[in-house]
A and B are shown apart, each in its own frame.
Chain A
């Protein structure tokens, strides 16, 4: 009986995971999504981008965020802090040790009993194990390391845990995502679920997935974090920005990731 239930569970869990995990970074759609998912099909922002933008993302030479990837590669091996360690001292070859890590983040963190974001984890390792200072949010080294670590999972399907200890945080993230906010009183879902593919003034709305962050946005003329993107969306509806390291942000990131389960990691993505 238990075995039957377990098999059923495995089948259910693996159902939406039909996206290509070929490792080429090209995202196919996840369709159909599991029952109860607010979107019938999942499409990466890549799908809504113009061919010229997609080509930029696909070419390592033309993707402007690859400069940061290279910097991240250097930082991975660079000794820093009082413990005289680098990331590599503990984790060795990132291609092996970090493969798949980004696909499961944010993850439950036993110490705080909260969801932990990948960026938060990098800074935690720096402070706790390297005895080095945390990198400021949105700073170049933090973006670089995040891109470097995430890219080790490039092309792998997101597989964030949806049950277990993360469930209450996921529910909070979903509540944030679906409630109207700001002077314009529009929810995240209001734009990204109802109107994906339609234009909001000059910008074509996507389903608002986080699978490509940190992302180079042509309109930003720089590479930015997911928080930067979310705060731009919040400013659009004249709502309060989220703070780096806040519970609200971690919960929202968790919901965004779980909602996109099955789409592949594209980091670093390029968008308009």
Chain B
């Protein structure tokens, strides 16, 4: 009799333990599935906005003479930010001969990174000679001020002025950080 009770008790305990474990496993699985996942805006997006002053330019009606950051722009990082699809993605619309030259047609990785240049905007070859540093900065920060008559499709990379219907994940963010802007400006200055 005692023996049977002990067996029954042990099995009840074992069963309960087992059930708890199974339930826990299910709960955990559900936790993983139900985890609210807000899509990240993009690799380049920044929630910090630099202040800047718009002045009258030489080749363009507007320019931003002063750097947005204390740190000097790094042309190499600028190239990376310009081609990266989650950052500048400038190649979506612009051709740049010196970047195209990096493409090795037999290497899918370089084609993906440096190839497939779009055609919505003018080629950027020689922009470093056409515009001052401040004007390049202006074009990137807010191209509608740089080309006021063009009704341009070029995105503004460092202002939220006039934006509407921005996706939930990207609200309160600009497309590129101030440092990325300075880096890309340094890269563009080198396109002579």
Partners in one complex: yes
Stretch at the interface among A22-30, A148-156, A179-187, A249-257: A179-187
User: Closest Cβ of chain A: how far from B158's Cβ, in Å?
Assistant: 12
Chain B residue with minimal CB distance to A187? Answer: B153
Q: CA A184 – CA B166 in complex, angstroms?
A: 8
Inter-chain residue pair count (beta carbon < 8 A): 71
Report B-chain residues with C-beta under 8 Å of the C-beta of A168: none
Of A43-51, A58-66, A232-240, the segment with at least 4 beta carbons within 8 Å of chain B is A232-240
Stretch at the interface among A113-121, A133-141, A157-165, A194-202: A194-202
- Contact flags A50-90 to B (C-beta < 8 A → 1, else 0): 00000000000000000000000000000000000000000
B119 with A198: CB separation less than 8 A: yes
CB-defined contacts of A201 to chain B, threshold 8 Å: 85, 89, 91-92, 116-118
The verdict on A190 contacting chain B, using a C-beta distance below 8 Å, is yes
Given A201-B116, A202-B116 in contact, is the A180-B170 Cβ separation under 8 Å? no
In angstroms, how far is the closest chain B Cβ from the Cβ of A50? 15
Residues of B within 8 A of A200 (CB): 92-93, 118, 120
Q: How far is the CB of A162 from chain B (nearest CB, A)?
A: 26
Chain B residues with Cβ below 8 Å from A185 are 155-156, 162-163
Interface 1/0 per residue, B149-192 and A, CB below 8 Å: 00001011000001111111110010100000000000000000
Chain B residues within 8 Å of A194, by CB: 153
Chain A residues touching B, majority SS: loop
Please tell me if B42 contacts chain A, counting CB pairs below 8 Å: yes
Tell me, in angstroms, the Cα distance from A235 to B163 when the chains sit together: 15
Is the pair A239, B118 in contact by a Cβ cutoff of 8 Å? no
Write the nearest CB–CB distance from A239 to chain B, whole angstroms.
5
Which interface class (under 10, 10 to 19, 20 to 34, 35 or more) fits A? Answer: 20 to 34
**What are the residues of chain A within 8 A of B120 when measuring CB–CB?**
191, 195, 198, 200
Contacts of A180 in B (CB 8 A): 162, 164
- Of A186, A234, A235, A241, the residue contacting B155 (CB under 8 A) is A186
- Tell me if B167 and A199 are in contact (CB < 8 A): no
Q: Which residue of chain B has its CB nearest to the CB of A241? A: B167
Contact residues, A192-248 vs B (CB, 8 A): 194-195, 198-202, 234-235, 238-241
B54: chain A residues at CB < 8 Å are: none
Q: Shortest CB–CB separation between residue A198 and chain B, in angstroms? A: 4
Is the CB–CB distance between A238 and B166 below 8 Å?
Answer: yes
- Give which listed residue, B93, B156, B167, contacts A235 with CB less than 8 A: B167
Q: How far in angstroms is the closest Cβ of chain B from A177?
A: 13
Report the minimal beta-carbon distance from A60 to chain B, rounded to whole angstroms.
Answer: 32
Given A183-B170, A198-B118, A200-B93, the answer on whether A240 and B153 have CB atoms closer than 8 Å is no
The complex places the Cα of A143 from the Cα of B91 at a distance, in Å, of: 35
Q: Are B118 and A182 in contact (CB under 8 A)?
A: no
Are A240 and B93 also in contact (CB < 8 A) when A183-B175, A186-B155, A198-B119 are? no
Residues in A neighbouring B93, C-beta threshold 8 A:
200
A239 to B168, CA, bound (A): 8
B168: chain A residues within 8 A (beta carbon): 240
Whether B99 is near chain A, meaning CB under 8 Å from some CB there, is no
How many angstroms between the C-alpha atoms of A179 and B166 in the bound complex? 13
In the complex, what's the smallest C-beta–C-beta distance from B47 to chain A, in angstroms? 12
Q: Which partner residue on chain B sits nearest A189 by CB separation?
A: B153
When distances are taken between beta carbons in the complex, the residues of chain B under 8 Å from A181 are 164-166
List of 4 A-B pairs having minimum Cβ-Cβ separation, nearest first: A202-B116, A181-B165, A184-B155, A198-B119
Q: A182-B167, A238-B170 are in contact. List 19 more A-B contacts (CB 8 A).
A: A179-B164, A181-B164, A181-B166, A182-B166, A183-B41, A183-B170, A183-B173, A183-B175, A185-B155, A185-B163, A186-B153, A186-B155, A191-B120, A195-B153, A199-B116, A199-B117, A200-B93, A234-B167, A238-B41
What are 12 pairs between A and B in contact, CB < 8 Å? A182-B166, A183-B175, A186-B153, A186-B155, A195-B153, A199-B118, A201-B116, A202-B116, A234-B167, A238-B41, A238-B166, A239-B167
